[in-house]
Amino acid sequence: MGEKTSKIRLWAVIFWLAVWQLAAMGLARAYPHGSLLLASPAAVLYRLGQLAVTTAFWQTVGWSAARIFGGFLLSTLLAVLLASLAAWKNGVGELLAPLVAVIKAVPVASFIILALVWLNSRSLSLFISALMVFPPVYLNVLEGIRRTDGQLLEMARVFRVPFSRRLRYIYLPQIMPYFRTAVSLGLGLCWKAGAAAEVIGLPAGSVGERLYTAKVYFQTPDLFAWTVTIVAVSVLFERLFLILTDWAARKVGG
Amino acid sequence: MELRNICKSYHGRPVLQNVSFTIEPGVTALWAPSGAGKTTLLRILLGLERPDSGELLGTGVRWSAVFQEDRLLDGLDAMGNLRFALGSGWDEAAARRLLAELRLSDAEDRPVREWSGGMKRRLALARALLADAEAIALDEPFAGLDAENRRHGAECIARRAETTPVLLVTHDRADLEALNARIIELRQGEIRRGSTS
């Protein structure tokens, strides 16, 4: 039932695009500068097409993607490592619990401002995306390890099965669904937070800087075009990373 | 292998009290009604739990086991399960012969999750019997098996017991009749008597 209601249908997308187009047309008619308030989907698509053929566009996307995805990768590696340690030694989990709770509870804007004090603006999105990804990946992987079938682990212990085989046949099949969920959630979060950090920190050559410039000069089609780009790149990275993860799991799992 | 005065309690409730016996070549059957502490005793023998007191001689023994539950990897087929538990040193031809004897050949290639309870039990037994072990522990190995499969299983156990000591743990008298075993009776956490079936 949940899957049926949450699935995105093409007709629903077309409906909302039509609503957007009509609203933009209505505003343009009602006010002399109505198109500045809301760019139409057609205008956004046109502007996106113009941007996409320039080298600067791809350099900007690459600049932000490298930092945001870099932060995601570093944080994911650290979270998996620490979750494994926490599952192995209770004390590690207890030590990390307040830290994870703080990262989850503190508003991202506070972290961005603090990071601007501590770091230069070029490292800002890397740090913020890493921070956003850590709690979901750490908590989910830890939960996956903790839910590993204890009876199977005992069996493996009695039969003296080496750790590599236990990892491949007992731990990984249990952890993978948790890891996938965390990655999906984490990638969405890190792009949202990373872009917000760039808008506040304004590192030169970033997507956030382009968003800010679009806002300052009332370039609404640019604002929407860059937003669409962020969403598209985020979804693309999520799909690619999950495909890569599934492939790696299949390789390891035989 | 010998247990001397093994005691174990959970939350102050004694489960095993001064349990002593030896596991000798052949089949040693530990008979006990449900809740008498036989699974706890087996877990201590397998090194999965520590006794509160007492001595366990032969702690370095390489065991294989049929547990109370089948403990199979549901996504793997028969050979996959055997390969997982037995590692590189296993004899595939011997495994196929034993699976045939336990009448599992037809299902060999299907993942275990599609098997019946009785088939899973027989595969768990095959895994324990095929392992390169110095002693074998069998916790209710015939649970859920019909008379014919029980007889086939007992024959395989008896053959392996010629070279490796087998400890059979059961609450079912019929299991004792299927095997020529030395019987040790465990009641309310204490050894009551030993005899031969």
Given an 8 Å threshold on Cβ–Cβ distance, is B84 in contact with A165?
yes
- pLDDT above 90: percentage of residues in chain B: 47
Amino acid identity of residue B41, one-letter, is L
Within a domain: residue B21?
Answer: yes
Answer whether residue B105 is part of any domain.
no
A96 Cα to chain B: minimum distance (Å) = 29
- Looking at the predicted structure, is the pLDDT value of residue B24 above 90? no
Interface test with B, best of A153, A157, A158, A163 (most B CBs within 10 A): A158
For residue B34, being part of any structural domain is answered with yes
Structural domain count, chain B: 1
B195 has pLDDT over 70: no
In a domain, B48, yes or no: yes
**What is the value of pTM for the model shown?**
0.81
> Across the interface, which of B48, B64, B86 has its CB nearest the CB of A154?
B48
Question: Who among B48, B75, B131 is closest to A159 (CB)?
Answer: B131
Residue A226 burial by CB count (10 A; 0-12/13-18/19+): exposed, middle or buried?
buried
**pLDDT at res. A2:** 45
- On whether any CB of chain B is under 8 Å from the CB of A11, the answer is no
Out of A158-162, B56-60, B129-133, pick the least confident.
B56-60
Task: Report the pLDDT value the prediction gives residue A136, as an integer from 0 to 100.
Answer: 94
List chain A residues with pLDDT less than 50. Answer: 1-3
Give me A68's structure tokens.
């945001």
The domain locations on chain A are: 1-38, 40-253
What residue numbers bound the domain in which B7 lies? 2-73+128-196
Residue B166: band (very low, low, confident or very high) from pLDDT cuts 50, 70, 90: very high
Contact A158 B63 (CB under 8 A): yes
Query: Is it true that domain A40-253 has CATH number 3.30.70.20?
Result: no
Judged against a pLDDT cut of 70, whether residue B30 lies above it is answered with yes
- Which tens digits make up the pLDDT trace of A59-102? 999 999 999 999 999 999 999 999 999 999 999 999 999 999 99
Whether residues B71 and A155 touch (CB distance < 8 A) is answered with yes
Mean pLDDT of chain B: 87
Shortest CA distance from B45: residue in chain A: A158
* Residue A136 CA: distances (Å) to CA of A49, A131, A187: 35, 10, 10
pLDDT confidence of residue A234: 92
Query: Per-residue pLDDT for B197 more than 50?
Result: no
Q: Is residue B71 predicted with pLDDT exceeding 90?
A: yes
d(CA A76, CA A62): 20
* Cβ–Cβ gap B84/A157 under 8 Å: no
Q: What is the CATH number of the domain that holds B32?
A: 3.40.50.300
Contact (Cβ atoms closer than 8 angstroms) between residue B119 and residue B79: no
Residues of chain A contacting B40 with CB distance shorter than 8 Å: none
Residue A169 DSSP class: I
Q: What's the average model confidence in pLDDT over B161-173?
A: 89
ipTM of the complex in this document = 0.90
Q: Region B110-123: what's the mean pLDDT?
A: 94
Share of chain B above pLDDT 70, in %: 95
Residue B139: burial class (beta carbons within 10 Å; 0-12, 13-18, 19+): buried
Q: How far apart are the CA of B23 and the nearest CA of chain A, in angstroms?
A: 18
Mutant choice from A151, A154, A159, A169 vs B, greatest count of B C-beta within 10 A: A159
Amino acid at A238: E
